[in-house]
Amino acid sequence: MKININELEKNNNIKELFEMLVETLAHLRSPEGCIWDREQDHDSIKRNMVEEAYEAVDAIESRDYQSLKGELGDLLLQVIFHSQIAVEKNEFDLSDVIKEIIKKLYRRHPHVFGDKNFNSSAEVLSSWEEIKKTERKNNPKKTESIFSDIPKILPSLHYAYEIQNRASRLGFDWEETGGIFDKIKEEIDELTDEFKKSDNAALEKDSEHDTCSDNIFKVKDEIGDILFSMVNLSRHLDVDSEECLKRTCGKFIRRFNEIEKLAASRSLDFKNLSLKEKDKLWDEVKEMEDK
């Protein structure tokens, strides 16, 4: 199957274009299509779905909407790819996928398509949780836990946020933000205590038995508790913890690149500088940023 690209550019009929995309994927999976495309299954391309979603988010955060156009296309391709594989395996087809999301939208918006009346987003979210709870009861492969459908593949900070957010919808949350600061201090104190109980050697892997001491597991737990509490704080401040950490990572990369350039401009071997000398360069870069 061949497509006239010039004619394609003139066609703005979404229905026709969507059908063309579906037919293109089916052709690629056919004996006359592409060897690589034919070899793929749900498992072999599952990570592509995650990667394409991240690339779309990156385009949004970069305000690069021209790139976003392409990234959304890549994401849509993954939906159609999985659907085509499912058709060949007699699991479901694309019409089933579309029907499912339409039914879900109607089911979860009774205040729009039904007789419910809500006056705030909080009421809408509370209704969603009740509806989703009913959906979980009717799905034999899911538990009734409000956390059961949170994807474990999510980045850890986002995963923690989703857990806390759902617990909050059921009233399990901090009433005052100040209490979270106290919790963070408490968790840091507990980490400090665990660290003081051992020296650096105890935190290293036991070379003889190739195992870790019990203490390292306690330290890991305390670090996890601190991170979880920090996510809680950012959630209460209506700040995205994932975005905060990414900004800090970007700032670190920018400053590190600058101190390397600064060292090179002074004919200094950056790698062999002492930590004190590197810190001095770091402070110079920070001062330049503040001006």
Q: What is the pLDDT of residues 18-63, one digit of tens each?
A: 999 999 999 999 999 999 999 999 999 999 998 999 899 999 989 9
- Does residue 263 belong to any structural domain of this protein? yes
Q: Which residue has the higher pLDDT, 209 or 36?
A: 36
Question: Is 118 part of a structural domain of the chain?
Answer: yes
- Whether residue 213 is found in the same domain as residue 285: no
**259 and 183, same structural domain?**
no
79 with 120, same domain: the answer is: no
In a domain, 30, yes or no: yes
**Number of domains within the chain:** 4
- Is residue 13 pLDDT above 70, yes or no? yes
Q: Is residue 151 in some structural domain?
A: no
The 3 state secondary structure assigned to the chain is CCCCHHHHHHCCCHHHHHHHHHHHHHHHHCCCCCHHHHHCCCCCCHHHHHHHHHHHHHHHHCCCHHHHHHHHHHHHHHHHHHHHHHHHCCCCCHHHHHHHHHHHHHHCCHHHHCCCCCCCHHHHHHHHHHHHHHHHHCCCCCCCCCCCCCCCCCCHHHHHHHHHHHHHHCCCCCCCHHHHHHHHHHHHHHHHHHHHCCCHHHHCCECCCCECCHHHHHHHHHHHHHHHHHHHHHHHCCCCHHHHHHHHHHHHHHHHHHHHHHHHHCCCCHHHCCHHHHHHHHHHHHHHHHC
Distance CA 120, CA 111 (A): 11
Q: Residue 137 belongs to what domain range?
A: 108-145
Write out pLDDT tens, residues 148-203: 888 888 889 999 999 999 899 888 999 999 999 999 999 999 999 988 886 554 55
Whether residues 23 and 94 share a domain: the answer is: yes
| Distance (Å) of CA 64 to CA 48, 58, 241, 250, 255 | 21, 8, 22, 17, 24
Give the model's pLDDT for residue 99: 97
Q: Are residues 217 and 139 both part of a single domain? A: no
Percent of the chain with pLDDT over 70: 92
**Structure-block tokens of residue 210:** 């190739």
Q: Does the pLDDT value for residue 281 go beyond 80? A: yes
Whether 23 and 92 share a structural domain = yes
Do 22 and 71 sit in the same domain of this protein?
A: yes
Assess whether 198 and 228 both reside in one domain.
yes
Looking at the fold, whether 138 and 52 belong to one and the same domain comes out as: no
Claim to verify: residue 23 and residue 96 sit in the same structural domain: yes
